[in-house]
């Protein structure tokens, strides 16, 4: 069983969804963490439905990430291992004024006329 960790930092990069196989995809984001005199970058991976956790968060926002560390042995080389930080919860500590591009795009799209309220429906008779 893996231990759960929490780390607070500023988001520096949010990558697009990456299709690994037909049934497996992931999304990666990076936070900058300052620990005393040192600054480190940590890349976290989101899998499955957890990928949407980052959708409404912009670069430069401060977040607290709950995550697990995982390591897997290569299927082709028994002396090679892969490690990753798998995020499963993201809490916003402070938000930037920037809106993520995919959210801004959706907000700027025109509303279809059929979805707008009919002004005649507001009549009192």
Positions in the chain short of pLDDT 50: 104-125
Q: What was the pLDDT predicted at 53?
A: 93
How does DSSP classify residue 48?
G
Please write the tens of the pLDDT for every residue from 32-42: 999 889 999 99
CA 16 – CA 4 distance, rounded (Å): 25
| Cβ-contact 32, 39 below 8 angstroms | yes
Domains belonging to the chain, first-starting first, are 4-110 (2.40.50.140)
């Amino acid at each position: 069983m893996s231990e759960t960790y929490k780390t607070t930092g500023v988001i520096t990069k949010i990558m697009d969804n990456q299709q690994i196989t037909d049934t497996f995809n992931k999304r990666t984001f990076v936070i900058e963490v300052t620990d005393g005199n040192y600054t480190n970058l940590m890349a976290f991976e989101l899998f499955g439905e957890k990928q949407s956790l980052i959708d409404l968060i912009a670069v430069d926002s401060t977040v607290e990430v709950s995550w697990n560390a995982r390591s897997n042995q290569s299927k082709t080389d028994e002396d090679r291992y892969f490690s990753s930080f798998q995020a499963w919860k993201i809490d916003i500590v402070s938000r930037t004024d920037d809106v993520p591009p995919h959210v801004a795009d959706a907000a700027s799209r025109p509303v279809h006329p059929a979805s707008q309220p009919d002004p005649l429906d507001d009549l009192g008779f």
